[in-house]
Amino acid sequence: MKFLRAKTAFISATLIAAAIPASAFHIVLDAGHGGTDTGAVHSNIKEADLVLKVANKVKGLLEKDQNFQVSMTRNADRNLGLPDRVKFAETSKADLFVSIHANAASDQRAKGVEFFFQNNLPPDEESLFLASQENQAVLNSIKESHEGDELSKKGDVTAIVEDLRRQNRMMSSLRLTQTLTSTWENDASAAQATIKQAPFYVISKTSMPAVLIEVGFLTNPREAKKLSSSEYQTDLAQKIYRALLSYKEKVDNTEAKTLN
Ligand SMILES: [Zn+2]
């Protein structure tokens, strides 16, 4: 019986793995602003235009790779509200949400790339991080109880599952921003990259791991000049693509370990 159960579990895991095509990793790219909402405008560069160009280049790279499915919240210069962007990502059942923006600051010296993720945790983060580790055992026992068809327990554990899902999403978003940062750090000629936390609407309201990328400062004359060049936009897109590839590999490795 024990053997049978183990074997059934193995077969289910194999079926699940086989049923998920590699292309199922769905990324929604969100070019910020658009239409009457131009975003920042400096040095003759309109943020809405620049980020659409970069997003399109990332899309081009992702589309060539059959491991990814890619959608854009907007692919033209049009108005699109923040809730509509979130709704689009939710109805697309995206695995990842990547919002692309360009920065502006009163200090012209401000420069570099910034990656924002949303940390939903209350101030006492460390204890909650620890709690999430400790709760892993609870999650495992929930999985087992479902396998055993003891679904009556479901109501009791919904809140815990929801909490774990929220924490997992936050951890995945952090991992995504770290992967992006290390891609920049591995390129000595690249602009400096920083990870920050902020409650931007689009990365707060989406239920999947999400990042908001500020590709550079339009208020910094040197950076603005670079950002206006098609070659630099391509370089940015390639870095974002490489980071997404690397992030997906990490997710796949984690899932393979779970399935085994
Ligand atoms: Zn913006």
Share of the chain above pLDDT 90, in %: 58
Does 106 or 197 have the greater pLDDT score? Answer: 106
Note the pLDDT tens digit of each residue in 157-181. 777 777 788 888 889 999 999 999 9
Position 159 in a domain: no
Establish if 55 belongs to a structural domain: yes
Q: How far apart are CA 21 and CA 235, in angstroms?
A: 29
- Whether 130 maps to a domain, the answer reads no
Is there a domain that residue 180 lies in?
yes
Instruction: Give the domain range for residue 59.
Output: 21-121+170-259
pLDDT at 249 over 60: yes
Quick one: average pLDDT of 20-39? 85
Domain presence at residue 128: no
Confidence of residue 255 (pLDDT cuts 50, 70, 90): confident
Beta strands in the chain (DSSP E): 25-31, 41-42, 45-46, 68-72, 96-103, 113-117, 193-197, 210-217
Averaged over 39-67, what is the pLDDT?
96
Report pLDDT for 3. 42
Within-domain flag for 35: yes
Task: State the pLDDT at residue 136.
Answer: 53
Ligand 1 center–CA 103 separation, angstroms:
7
pLDDT band with cut points at 50, 70 and 90 for residue 130 = very low
Tell how far the Cα of 247 is from the centroid of ligand 1, in angstroms: 24
Whole-number Å distance, alpha carbon 81 to ligand 1 midpoint, is 13
Residues with CB under 5 A from ligand 1 (ion): 32, 39, 101
User: Which band of pLDDT confidence, cut at 50, 70 and 90, is reported for residue 120?
Assistant: low
Q: Is residue 190 part of a domain?
A: yes
Q: What is the CATH number of the domain that holds 90?
A: 3.40.630.40
Q: For residues 140 and 161, what is the distance between their CA atoms, to the nearest angstrom? A: 11
The count of domains in the chain is 1
Kindly state whether residue 194 falls inside one of the protein's structural domains: yes
- Gap from CA of 137 to ligand 1 centroid (Å): 41
